[in-house]
Each structure stands twice: as C-alpha cells, then as structure tokens.
Amino acid sequence: MNKQAVSENERWLLSYYRASEINGALFFGRVARTVRGPLLVDVTHHFTDEANHANYWTKCLDDMDLTPVPQNRAYQDQYLEAVGMPANVMEVMAITQVFEKRVIGQYGRHQRYAGTHPLAKATIQKIMLDERWHVKYVRDALADLSGKYGAELIDTTLARFTAADDEVYAKTLEEYGQRLEFLGETTEHYHGTETE
C-alpha cells in the first residue's frame, strides 16, 4: 500500500472517473444487447472494458484506503441531454469516438501531473491501453459504416457531437473546475479540444 497523501480534489476526480466508467459500462451493455453483425464482438469487449475500468478505480481508491465520493451525475449524462440518445449504430460509434478522445486527453493530463498518486498513475496507464483500442476500433467501424451512411453524414455527425462535447466539457468545468486545479493547470487550458 502506498501511503502518499491524496487530496480531497484528487479523491473526487478518481471517483468521478469511476462513475463515468460505470455509466459507460451501462451504456455499452445496452448497446451490446441490441447490436448485430460484425460489431457485436467489439461492442461486447468495450462493455467489458468499461466495467473493468470502474473496478480498477474502485480498487485504486480502496488501495488508498479511500471510499468513492458519491456522484450525482456522470459526464455521459450531460451528453444525452445535449444530443439525445443515439438513433443508430453510426451515431453510437460517432459519439463514442468523440467521448473516447476526450477521455484519453483527460487521463493523459492527469497522468502527466507530477503529483499524481502512483496508484492513480498505474490505473490510468492500464486503462489507457484499452482507451487507445476503443478509438481504433470505433474509427475502423465508422470507416466501414461510410458505405451505408455516407462519409459526409458521418463527418457531420462527428462535428455535431464534437461541438456538444465542447459544450458539455465547458459546463463541467464551470461546475467542477476548482476540482481540477490540483493538476496545476488553469481551467482555460481545458476549454480546448486536446484529445489525442
């Protein structure tokens, strides 16, 4: 067990990650029940990854002798409010692509912060392996779906979801930006779209 102190803000952020991963597992569980064809294996794998990530964060907090801070809403809840429930598999893949890039950007920032607790850093490193695969398989799926939906519609959908993501992230920072100050960066930095 590592006895390095964890600030209340870092505890909150790790709990927020955990809640978001739980929401991701629930979302992909619903998708995995309904999707057919070649995406079935990848979407089911994605569902499993999200559940494992929630478990990794739970174990990380437990190994720090911390309990998760209760979260009323996860990041994804705001997505659905901003853009609605995806209407088809292409929209599921598009919103996933945008979200996963945001996750990689956030985890990357947290990992680079010199004061990140070693257990949190190790958890992020383990999760990032899966996150990179998520972006790749979704990018490939969108390329395959262009024959059915058209590249222009996919590009338009990605642009719409990216704009919604920027809006949701800005709102999240307005509400919780002080929780990120321990990372040593100003909230202005987070208003960009650093995602890779």
CB-based contact 7:64 (threshold 8 Å)? no
CATH, domain 8-190, list 3.60.15.10, 1.10.1660.10, 3.20.20.150, 1.20.1260.10? 1.20.1260.10
Average pLDDT, integer, range 72-98: 87
**pLDDT tens, position by position, 15-64:** 999 999 999 999 999 999 999 998 999 999 999 999 999 999 999 999 99
State yes or no: pLDDT of 185 exceeds 70.
no
Whole-angstrom distance, CA of residue 97 vs CA of residue 109 = 19
Q: In this structure, what is the dihedral angle of CA atoms 135, 117, 177, 162, given to the nearest 10 degrees?
A: 0
| Residue 181 DSSP one-character state | G
State the DSSP H helix or E strand holding residue 119, giving kind and residue range, or none if neither: helix 118-149
